[in-house]
């Protein structure tokens, strides 16, 4: 039997694929509701529209290590990490409300091959918008 190694496999092929951990993640997830806040200008007035996003995910404070890597002025802010189903579509700088507090999406890491997406959120000033 010939020896097989990585050079013999195409990227995304069966051997050495990224494991889908969605089964483990879904047992960790709970029902969550974000309210997406979008501000637009209509007839020279700012109009705020809100859309409810229901999904399964988990909310956790950002790790001390990730906060220590932030610029000095941002370290005192409240940072959170959300692991969610890949169906959740938010982009950087979007504003959401969760449990009555407004947050801004700072980054999105797409781990759909693993079965989830990860968002980094920061508490935002109430009333500010995109």
Give pTM, 2 decimals: 0.73
Other CB atoms within 10 A of residue 25 CB: 19
Largest CA distance in the chain: 73
List CB contacts of 43: < 8 A, sequence separation 6 or more: none
Domains of the chain in start order, with CATH, are 18-123 (2.40.10.270)
Per-residue model confidence as pLDDT tens digits over 39-52: 889 999 988 889 99
Per-residue model confidence as pLDDT tens digits over 71-107: 665 666 788 999 999 999 998 889 999 999 999 999 9
């Amino acid at each position: 039997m010939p020896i097989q190694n990585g050079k013999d496999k195409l990227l995304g092929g069966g051997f050495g694929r990224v494991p889908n951990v969605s089964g483990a993640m879904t047992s960790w997830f709970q029902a969550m509701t974000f309210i997406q806040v979008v501000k637009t200008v209509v007839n020279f007035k700012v109009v705020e529209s809100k859309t409810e996003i229901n999904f399964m995910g988990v909310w956790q404070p950002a790790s001390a290590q990730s906060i220590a890597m932030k610029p000095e002025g941002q370290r005192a802010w409240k940072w959170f990490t959300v692991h969610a189903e890949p169906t959740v579509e938010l982009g950087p700088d979007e504003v959401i409300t969760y449990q009555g507090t407004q947050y801004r999406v700072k980054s999105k890491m797409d781990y759909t091959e693993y079965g989830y997406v990860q968002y980094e959120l920061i508490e935002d000033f109430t009333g500010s918008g995109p």
